[in-house]
Structure 1
Amino acid sequence: MNRQTLLTLLTIFALLFSLSFSCNAKGKDKAKHVVFIGLDGWGAYSLPKADMPNVKKLMEDGAYTLKKRSALPSSSAINWASMFMGAGPELHGYTEWGSKTPELPSRVLNKNGIFPTVFQLLRDARPEAEIGCLYEWEGIKYLVDTLSMSYHYHVADCNKAPKELGNVASSYIKEKHPALVAICYDGPDHTGHTEGHDTPAYYEKLKELDTYVGQIVQAVKDAGILDDTIFILTSDHGGINKGHGGKTMQEMETAFIISGKNIKKGLRFDDMSMMQYDVASTIASIFNLEQPQVWIGRPMKMVFK
């Protein structure tokens, strides 16, 4: 073998090694499917007293904190936006309970004319991915970038049809096997406003919602994708008396529960700081998506095996 041939072979081996290292450095997805379940107005304070066996099974089998903090004010649109957009209101611009468009100019707009969401990140990285969002509160649709969705569905009157969201979501999961689906319930918030937080009616609503969580978990099992799924269960804010939006810990602290493939079991991480915008970053980390520079969220890496 002459010197030139040897140099050529060494160059080829070096390139192959470099490509292999690059691919391995990026890593594989931690799961093929993420099922996000949001319970509007569900305060972390309620969990110790709540009759929620399905939720507590996810906690037992996974990792969780009861100290995730809401962005201020502790209201709906601003916090759902922060959860899906990986940044706070100072950057995404949604600042109020019912924001449909940013009150502040968004620092960055994506090609769909909205601040970058985790749904758009996944769509850009995987154009063929099945991505869905199903919700009871209509305000959700203004915060998720529906143009990045394969499917989105609004329950017109969840008070008259409380089982509709769970039924439609279950059918969607079994039929489409989505890579990412967000399922957002309004029940705790509605009951908190009408009957009060931390009341018998509020805990009865949580007990009811737990059955819907169980229904969704069962749908994932029936779809045959349980072993490659990560569940995330969380909320936008809590509440006190018949309201929210203030600075009490009952309003500010929400649970974040993550369970499933490649998630540590039995980990409670209350000692670690977590904010709403860290939810989007954690989902992005599951799919190995690169965060936009404008995001300030941090993935909760301690939950992964």
Structure 2
Amino acid sequence: MKTFNPLNLLFLFLIGFNFSCLQTNKSENQKPLAKHVILIGSDGFGAYAFNKAKVPNLRKLMQEGSYSLEARCVLPSSSAVNWASMIMGSGPELHGYTEWGSKTPELPSRIIGKGNIYPTIFSLIEEQLPEAKKGVVYTWGGIGYLFEKSMVDIDYNGKTDVDTAKKALKFIVDEKPALTFIHFDEPDGAGHNIGHDTPEYYEAVEKIDSLVGIIITTLEKNNLMDDTAIIFSSDHGGIGKGHGGKTLEEVEIPWILCCKNIPKKGKLNSSIVTYDTAATIAQILGIEQPQYWTGRSVLSEIK
């Protein structure tokens, strides 16, 4: 004759309780924090630019959100490798893009997704939010090799940063996309042609700030600001007329997040690497990131 053991009942209760907690935490982690994310990337915008340039619109985002001026790009501190890392949630050792102008991976990608490249944030949205709109609008043509063109609703290579901004804003206002990646080519051009840490470089930085102001104003006029998360960052800084090296002037980049649904924390002291951007976007939109991504959501340091 078997006897009733109350410990068995307690054991079953604890299993059920823990499972319930896991399910609750999982659903909470997947709850979207904003309907729209706008990722603004400014080429060659070193974090040091904030010391001398007048950037009131970016400072407004910093004051109303969270930021770091000590975030870092991956090495080498060049364009394609870092733009790829920003939207692929991983560094070059996994996605394989290793050079300034990489069009295809020099190192075989660890994973090949349905878009025939290492999966970006756009492929995650395509898979988990199939009805959501998404797009990439960029001034530097090299961006066009770094995302799944078949998975976006707009793929536009602007002639100038002003052209890029206008096209992106029309898409945002008309389509209300879940994610828009806006790439501006300056101040990289000024840095290469005239030099970083020059009056001309800071003038180019300030023009980018004015475009950020236009984006903010447009969102406010169209009642989109409350449901939108804006992330501003860069691929690298620069020194002299170049970049690609290991100095802080080349490696440190700004990282700014502003969203009314996310607590503002001001200056962040945690380490941020550019591939953390994709992981952060995924959490904001309430989607799961894959195991093969190495980025960590910055939101863990904000909440």
Q: Same fold, TM exceeding 0.5?
A: yes
Say if 2:298 is the partner of 1:300: yes
Where do residues 249-260 of structure 1 align in structure 2 (5 Å cutoff)?
249-260=248-259
Where do residues 71-110 of structure 1 align in structure 2 (5 Å cutoff)?
71-110=74-113
Question: Structure 1: how far apart are the matches of 2:44 and 2:218?
Answer: 25
Where do residues 1-305 of structure 1 align in structure 2 (5 Å cutoff)?
21=24, 24-155=27-158, 157-158=159-160, 162-269=161-268, 271-302=269-300, 304-305=302-303
3-state SS in 1 of match to 2:71? strand
3-state SS in 2 of match to 1:202? helix
4+ aligned runs moved over 3 Å, structure 1: 17-27, 302-305
Structure 1, unaligned stretches of length 5 or more? Answer: 1-13
Deviations along 1:80-123, one digit per CA (max 9) or x if unpaired, are: 00000011101000000000000010000101111010111011
3-state SS in 1 of match to 2:282? helix
Change (3 A) 1:23 1:278: closer
3-state SS in 2 of match to 1:123? helix
Confirm or deny: 8 A CA contact 1:282 1:300 kept in the other structure. Answer: yes
Distance apart, 1:142 and its partner CA: 0.8
Q: Which range is displaced more, 176-185 or 257-266? A: 257-266
Deviations along 1:233-257, one digit per CA (max 9) or x if unpaired, are: 0000000010000000000000000
Corresponding position of 1:8: none
Partner letter of residue 273 of structure 1? Answer: S
Question: Structure 2: how far apart are the matches of 1:300 and 1:266?
Answer: 11
Deviations along 1:244-299, one digit per CA (max 9) or x if unpaired, are: 00000000000000001222324211x31111111111111111221111111111
Change (3 A) 1:21 1:250: closer
Corresponding position of 1:5: none
3-state SS in 1 of match to 2:280? helix
Partner letter of residue 214 of structure 1? Answer: G
- Identity fraction in percent: 48
Structure 2, unaligned stretches of length 5 or more? Answer: 1-15
Distance apart, 1:163 and its partner CA: 1.8
Change (3 A) 1:43 1:124: same
Partner letter of residue 114 of structure 2? Answer: K
Q: How high is the TM-score relative to the length of structure 2?
A: 0.90
Question: Structure 1: how far apart are the matches of 2:89 and 2:149?
Answer: 17
3-state SS in 1 of match to 2:74? coil
Q: Which range is displaced more, 285-294 or 184-193? A: 285-294
Confirm or deny: 8 A CA contact 1:35 1:230 kept in the other structure. Answer: yes
Distance apart, 1:223 and its partner CA: 2.5
3-state SS in 1 of match to 2:236? coil
3-state SS in 1 of match to 2:51? coil
Corresponding position of 2:8: none
Question: Structure 1: how far apart are the matches of 2:63 and 2:276?
Answer: 22
Confirm or deny: 8 A CA contact 1:170 1:215 kept in the other structure. Answer: no
3-state SS in 2 of match to 1:208? helix
Question: Structure 2: how far apart are the matches of 1:176 and 1:62?
Answer: 25
Confirm or deny: 8 A CA contact 2:30 2:287 kept in the other structure. Answer: no
Change (3 A) 1:85 1:166: same
RMSD value, Cα: 1.8
May I ask how many residue pairs the two structures share in their alignment? Answer: 285
Question: Structure 2: how far apart are the matches of 1:182 and 1:32?
Answer: 15
